[in-house]
Structure 1
Amino acid sequence: MRPRLHALAMASAALLFSLSTHAEPVSDAADPASPEVRNTLDQVVVTATRGAKALEKIPGAVSVISASEIAAQGLVSEDPSALLAVQIPGYAPARQKLTNFGEGLRGRNALLLLDGIPQTNPLRLGGREGYFADPMIVSRIEVVSGASAAQGLGATGGIINTLTRKPTQPGTRQTVELRYGSQFHGDSDAWKTGYMVEHKSDFDLLAYVGLRSQDIGVDGTGRPLATESLHQAADGFLKIGKDFGDQRVQLMINRFHADGFDDRVDVSGNRATGLPTTSAPGKLPYDAPRNEVRSASLEWTHADLAQGAASVQLFKQDFSARYSGGVIATFQDASLAKVGTLVDQSEIKARKWGLRASWVRPDVWTPGLELTLGADYLDDESQQRLTQTARTWVPPMTYRSLAPFAQLEYESGPLTVRGGLRDERSRLQVDDYRTLAFYGNQAVQGGERSASKLVKSLGAVWRFGSSGWSSFVAYNEGFGSPDVGLILRAVNTPGRSVGTLVDLQPILTDNREVGVAWRGARGSVSASVYRSHSDLGSQLVVSNGIGSLQRVPITVRGFEISGEWRPDAAWQLNGSYALTRGRTASAAGGSLDLDLGARSQGPDKLVLGGRWQPAPAWSVQWTQSVYFSRDANIGKLAGKVPLDERFNGYTVADLSVSWDSPWGYLGAGVENLFNRSYLTYYAQANYSGTADDYYAGRGRTVTLSWRRSF
C-alpha cells in the first residue's frame, strides 16, 4: 500500500481508540445498551495465562472481548470469526463460511479453547474449528496475541479462550431470545430461537438450548452466494456447580451441531472476468457438510490449599467435520470405479481428553513473590476418512503429551516481573497404513516420534505512577505441531516410515514484543511492536488441488494500536489498526525470500467505530472495517507453481440500534450497510484458488432481535 495511506491509517488509529485491549468487565446478563456496561472502567481480571491476573499486570498483548461487545456484534452477525475480526487487531478477515482457512492470528494459528478445553485439532488442522458454541452462552472471550505455551500445544499465533456464562443473581431467571434476518431478496431468510434458564441458591445451574436456520443469501449484486456456509445449527448447554466453603465443583457439557446445505449445488465462477462462484437449487450426490462438537469438563477448585489457590480440570472433546465432496482427482481409484466418475468426500474425526492442574501461591518466601506450579496431560486421537467408500485418507494418529510447568512472578511497587518454564514432552504413534491410489497405494511403515522441548517465557510490566501509563516487554515461546495428517496422507514414494519422516518435527515459535498503554477516566490506548520467528515453520503449498507441507523458517513482524475515547457520557469512539509483515523461505534452510501467503496472513486492517446513547435505554453503534489491498509473491514460483497473490481490498460498514424497552431488549442490525459488492480476502488472495471457491461477501442483511428475561 502507498506510504500516504499507511500514514493516514496509523494517524486515524492513534486518534480513535478501541475497546479491544482494555474492555470493560461486565456481568453475564449485561445488555449492551446499559450505561453501567459501557462506562465501567474497573479492574479487568483474566485467566487465559493460567491464573487470575489483572490485565495491566500481564506482560504481553492480552485482550478481553466483553459480554457487551459480544451482544452488540450479535445484533449484526453471530459469525464468531466476524466478531474476532472486528475486536482483535491482528486477526484476519472472516471468510463467512463453515471453513475458516486463512483466519489466522498474527500470521499463525491460534489455539481455540472453550472454558480451557482445546477446540483446535493440530494433528489434522482442517479449518473447521471456528464454530463450537452459541454466542448466547458466552460471557467473554480472552485473547493472548502472540506465541504462548500457557495453555499447551497449538498456540503459535496466540490463545483465544471462550468463557461460558454462570449465574450471578440469586433465584431463578429465564431468558427467551428470538431473531429474524433477511436480505429481502432471493433465498435469504434467517431464524433463531434460544431459551436459557439460570438458577442460583446453594448450587448454581445454567441450561440453554438454541436452534438456528439460515438460507443461502445473496451478495451485493443480488447473486446467490456459494455453499459451504452455515445452514442450520443447534446447541445444547448445561453448567452446574456447587461451593463447599473454599472449594467448588463444577460440571460443564456442551454439544454444538452445524449443517451445511443439502439442497443446493455450487455454480462455478470465473476468476479471469471477476465472476464469483454462486449456487443454485440441486441435489447433492454426497452427504451434506456438517460439524459436530461435544465438549465436557469436570472442574475442582480450592481457594486456600496450602496457602494457595488450586484447580484441577478433567476434560473431553469429540469433534467431527464432514466436507463437501464430488468427483475429486485425489479420491479416484480405478479398482472401485472408472477414473473420473467416483464421487467421494472426506471427514475428520478427533477425540481428545486431558487433565489440567495448577496451584498458585502468593507471597511465597518473600512478600510480592508468586509461585505457580502445574501440569497438563493431553491424549488426542485424530484421523481423516472418505465417507462414501469407507477408505482411510489419514491414518489414525495418537498423540500424547505431558507438560509440567512452573512460573515465578515478582511485584514491587510499579514493577511486575514474570518468568516461566514448561517442559513439553510428547509422543506421536501411527500404525502401518497404505495411502490412496492417487499417491500410488504406498505402504507406509508405522512407528513413533517423540519430542521434548523446554518452552520459556519472560516479561516485565512497568506502571508509571498514577498517570495511567504503563509499558511492557515480553519474550514468549509457543509449541506447535505441523499438520501431521497432510504429511502422512501425501506419501507417494515407496519404503517410507513414520520414524523417518523428518517433517514431523515440532514447531517452536518465539514472540518478542514491546508495548505501551494508557488507561484513564475517559479512555484508553495501547500499542505494541512484535517479532515472531520459527526456524522450522510449516507452510502449505498447493499444486493441482493437492497440498503438501514445506518445513521452512517463518518470521512475522507487526505493529498494532487500539483504544477508545469517551468525550462525554453519551459518546464512545473506538478504533484499531494492525500492520502485519510475514516472510518465509522457498526452500528449507533458505533465506526469507517469500511473503507469507493468505493461508496464514491477513491484510493490513483499520477498524473504526462509535457508540451513541441518545437516551438511557437507547444505543446506536457504527463499525467500519477497512481491509487494505495486498500483493504478494508476484512472479515467484514454488517449483512450477505460481505463487502470485493479489487482493484489491474493500471496506464494509455495519450499523445497529438497541432499545431496552418495557417489553424486552429489542435490537436491529444491518450488516454491510451500503450493500458493498466485494470478493472476500481469502477468495481473492489464495494463489491456488479455482473457479469453484471464488467467493463473494454477503450483501446488505437486516436482523431484528428480541430478548426478554423473567
Structure 2
Amino acid sequence: MLAALPLSAAAADGAADTTAQAPTSEVVVVTATRGSKALDKIPGAVSVISRSDIDTQGLVSEDPSALLSLQVPGYAPARQKLTNFGEGLRGRNALLLLDGIPQTNPLRFGGREGYFADPMIVERIEVVSGASAVQGMGATGGIVNTITRRPTEVGTRQTVELKYGTQAHADTQSWKTGYMVEHKSAEADGWDLLAYVGLRSQDVGIDGAGRYLATESLHRAGDAFVKIGRDFGDQRLQLMLNRFDADGFDDWVDVPGDRDAGRPTTSRPGTPAWDAPRNRVRSASLEWSHADLGGGYASAQLFKQDFEARYSGGVISTFQDAAIAPVGTLVDQSEIEADKWGLRTSWVRPDAGIAGLEFTAGVDLLHDTSSQRLTQTGRTWVPPLRYESLAPFTQLEYTRGNLTLRGGLRDERNSLDVADYRTLAFYGNRAVEGGKRDAHELVKSLGGVWRFDASGWSAFASYNEGFGPPDAGLILRAVKTAGQSVDKLVDLQPVVTRNRELGVSWRGATANFSASVYRSRSDLGSQIIVVNGIGSVQRVPIEVKGFEFAGQWRPLPALRLDATYARTRGRTAAAAGEPLDLDLGARSQGPDKLVLGGQWAFAPAWRAQLNVARWFSRDANEGKFSGSTSLEEHFEGYTVADLALRWASPWGELGAGIENLFDRRYITYYSQSHYAGTDDDYYAGRGRTLTMSWRRSF
C-alpha cells in the first residue's frame, strides 16, 4: 500500500521498490495528468501503484479490481467476477486507460471493462481520484491509467514465470505460465523491444464453507503483448499492440441460492444452453514524441481499441418474442461491441515567457461506435451508437518557491448519431426515428499546492470538472412509447460532474500521512433504477461527499506499517425536482473501508506482507421505494486478510500467497447489498487459496 494523496515524498516509497528500507527523497513523476509531473505539484488526490505492489498482490490474486480496492482509498470492493458493476471510484465511474487508450465504454456501460491486460506487462498504475476532464469523457469518478513496461537495461533479457494455486479441494486449481523478452540497444539512437505471452487457467473454486462458487468468473485468459520503439535524437517513435482474451465457464452451470436463508448461489458440472461468457480486447497505439520542439515537449498518439463482451444467457424475460418461440422458452444472450479510434496530441512548454510558467496545449479526437446484439437470434438490442468528439485543451501552471498554481480549460464538442431502429418485442417492437444529438461543454479545472518550507507539510485545494455521456444504450434500448426519436430524448444530455477538494500532507523521517475531504456534484446525473429485473436511467442530481486518509510508519528500518481509510456518502433524488433524500446504491457506491498492512524484511532476500481489509456494514434507503420496488440495501460487512511471502533465491524469485488467510465465509458487497439482487446472483467470496510462484530472469 502507499500514501495515496498528494504529498510526493509520501508516495515515493510506494512508487519505488517497496522493500522495507529507510524512506528516500525520490521524486515520483506521473503522466495521467497529460504531462510528466512530480506528485507534490499536483493539486489533487493521486495514487501510484508500483511494479513492486503489483508483483506482491499478484502472489495473492491477479484480479485487477482487488489490487485497486486495496491500494486506492475511494475504490469499492472487488466483486471477484468478470463483471465489475459496483466497483466505482468515489461513488462514480472511473475512466480506465491502457497507456492512455480508453478501455471503458460509457455509451453502453456493461460492467465488463475491468480485465484488459495481464499484470506482467504493467509497469505502474496511476490513479487520479475525483472528476477530471484531462483525459476526455468518462472520468466522472476519476482516472485509472495503466502504464505498460519498457526495457530499462541494455542488452537482451528473458523472464519466465510459473504459478500454481489450489484450495486443497477438487476443481479449485489454477495455473499460469508467462514468457517475456526485453531488448535495449546500447546506442543512443537505438531501438528497444518488449514482448510477452501468457496463459492462465482457474477452476471454479470454493467459498469459506467449502461450497462451489458461482460461475460468473474468469476461467481462462491469455495475453499477447509487444512494444517496440526507436529513438532518433530528441525524437522517439513507438508501437504498442496488446491482445487480451478472457473466457468464462462452458462446463459448469449455476445452482440458485436462497437470499432469505443466507445460502449463496453455487454451481455444478454441466453444459449451459448458451455460449460461454467472454471478453475480447484489442488495443494498439502508434506514438511519436519530440523532447525539444519549439522549446517544449510534443507528443502525438494514434490509437485503436476493439472490445467485445459476451454475457451469460438464459430464458430471460427481456429477450422473449412470441414470433420466434413460445414465451418462456426462448434462450438468448447479449454481447456488447465497441470500436474506438482516436488521436491525442499535446505540447508542453516550460518557462513560457516567465520563469516558472508552464504552458500546455493539445487537441484530442475520438470516434466510438458501440452496440449490443443478441447472439443466439441475431437481433439488435442497442443500435450502433456513433460518437465523435473533438476537444482542444489548454493548461497553465505557475510555480514560484513553495507555491504551485494550475488552471485549465477543455472545450468538449461531441455528437451522437443513431440510425432508425426498432426495439425488442418486450418493449413493444417500437419504431424509433434516428437522429443526431450534439453537445458542447467547456470544462474547467483550477487548483494550487503550498509546500510549507522544510517542515514536511503541504496542502492543496482544487476544483475539477468531469464530462461524460449517460448510458445512451440503456436509454435507447428501453424505449416503450410510440413516436419517439433520438433527437427528442432529453435523457441523452451529458453528465457534468464538479469536484471540490481540500487536502493536507505531512512527511517526517520515519512516518508520513495524507488526508483530504471532497464534495462531488452533478446537477443532471445518471442513475440506474432496476424494477422487476429491468434497468432504466433516471436523470437526477447526485452529490457525493467523502473523506480519505493514508498513512505510513517505519518503526524499524526493516518494518513498514500502512493504513488507509475511506468514508463515502452519496445522495440522489427519487425524481427530477425532488430533494436528495436517497442514498446512492451499491451499483455506484462502496461501503466505508479500512485497510491495514505491514511489510517486513525479516532476513536478507526475504520479505513478507500482510494486508487486512475491513469493509464496514451499511444500511441504505430503509423504507424507500421506487414505485412498488423497495430500494433498501443492507450490508453486514466483513474482514479479509491476505498474506504474501517472497524470497529472492539463487534459482529465481520464489513466492507464496494466501488469499483469505482465515478462510472467512462471506457474501461479497454488491451481491449482498444490491436491492435488485435475486437468488441467481447471491455470490459468496472466495475461500482460503494458496498460490505458489517462480520467476527467473536471465
Give the TM-score of the pair, scaled to structure 2: 0.98
Structure 2 residue matching 1:472: 3-state secondary structure: strand
Aligned AA for 2:114?
A: G
SS at match of 2:12: coil
1:477 is matched with 465
- Out of 141, 151, 157, the residue aligned to residue 125 of structure 2 is 141
2:197 aligned with 1:209: yes
Could you say which residue in structure 2 is the equivalent of 1:10? none
Mapped partners of 1:545, 1:90: distance in 2: 28
**1:212-611 correspondence runs (5 A):** 212-611=200-599
Residue 4 of structure 1 is matched in structure 2 by none
- Asked whether 1:42 is paired with 2:26, we answer yes
* Gaps in structure 2 of 5+ consecutive residues: none
Displacement of 1:186: 2.7
Please point out which of 614, 631, 634 is paired with 2:602: 614
Alignment partner of 2:95 out of 99, 108, 111: 111
Corresponding pairs, count: 690
In the TM superposition, residue 70 of structure 1 has moved relative to its aligned partner by 0.7
The C-alpha deviation readout for 1:360-395, integer Å capped at 9, x for no partner, is 001112111110000100000000000000000000
Instruction: Report if the CA contact (8 A) 1:473-1:513 is conserved.
Output: yes
One-letter amino acid of the structure 2 residue matched with residue 317 of structure 1: Q
Correspondence for 1:155: 139
CA apart distance, 1:25: 6.9
CA displacement at 1:524 relative to structure 2: 2.1
Match of 1:101 in 2: 85
- Per the alignment, in what secondary structure is the counterpart of residue 679 of structure 2? coil
Deviations 1:65-91 (A, max 9, x none): 011111111110000000000000100
C-alpha distance 570-35 of structure 1, shift in aligned 2 (>3 A): closer
**How many angstroms does 1:114 deviate by?**
0.2
- What amino acid does structure 2 have at the position aligned with 1:453? E
Q: Is the 8 A contact 2:2 2:49 kept in 1?
A: no
Provide the C-alpha distance between the structure 2 equivalents of 1:497 and 1:383, rounded to a whole number of angstroms.
Answer: 18
C-alpha displacement of 1:41:
4.0
Instruction: Work out whether residues 23 and 66 of structure 1, in 8 Å CA contact, stay in contact via their aligned partners in 2.
Output: no
Match status 1:187 vs 2:187: no
- Matched-pair contact (CA < 8 Å) for 1:314–1:355: yes
Q: In 2, distance between residues paired with 1:89 and 1:624?
A: 14
Please tell me whether residue 640 in structure 1 is matched to residue 605 in structure 2. Answer: no
Measured in 2, the distance between the counterparts of 1:217 and 1:462 equals 50
Q: Are 2:543 and 2:570, in contact at CA under 8 Å, matched by a contact in 1?
A: yes
Deviation, structure 1 residue 468: 1.5
**What CA deviation, in whole Å up to 9, does each residue of 1:210-261 have, x standing for no partner?**
0000000000000000011000000000000011011000000000000000
Name the amino acid aligned to 1:365: G
Matching residue within 673, 679, 691 for 1:691: 679
**Matched position secondary structure for 2:213:** coil
Please state whether the residue corresponding to 1:482 is helix, strand or coil.
Answer: coil
Mark the runs of 5 or more structure 1 residues left unpaired by the alignment. 1-16
| 1:403–1:300 CA distance, 2 compared to 1 (3 A) | same
Is the 2:560–2:600 contact (alpha carbons within 8 Å) kept by the matching residues of 1? yes
State the Cα distance separating 1:35 from its structure 2 match: 5.6
Kept in 2: contact 1:41–1:521 (CA 8 A): no
TM-score for both structures, normalised by structure 1: 0.96
Q: Deviations over 1:481-538 (max 9, x none)?
A: 1000000000011000000100000000000000001123323211000000000000
Quick one: structure 1 residues 31 and 365, their matched pair in 2 at CA, closer, same or farther if it must change by over 3 Å?
closer
Determine the C-alpha separation between the residues in 1 that align with 2:206 and 2:663: 10
One-letter amino acid matched to 1:198: E
| 8 A contact 1:18–1:524 mirrored in 2 | no
1:87 is matched with 71
Percent identity reads 72
Asked if the contact 1:24/1:66 (under 8 Å) is kept, the reply is: no
* 3-state SS of paired residue (2:681): coil
Query: 2:572, 2:584 within 8 Å by CA — same for their partners in 1?
Result: yes
Give the Å deviation of 1:616. 2.2
Aligned residue identity for 2:179: Y
How far did 1:640 drift? 1.4
Given that 1:26 and 1:67 are in contact with CA atoms closer than 8 Å, whether structure 2 keeps it comes out as no
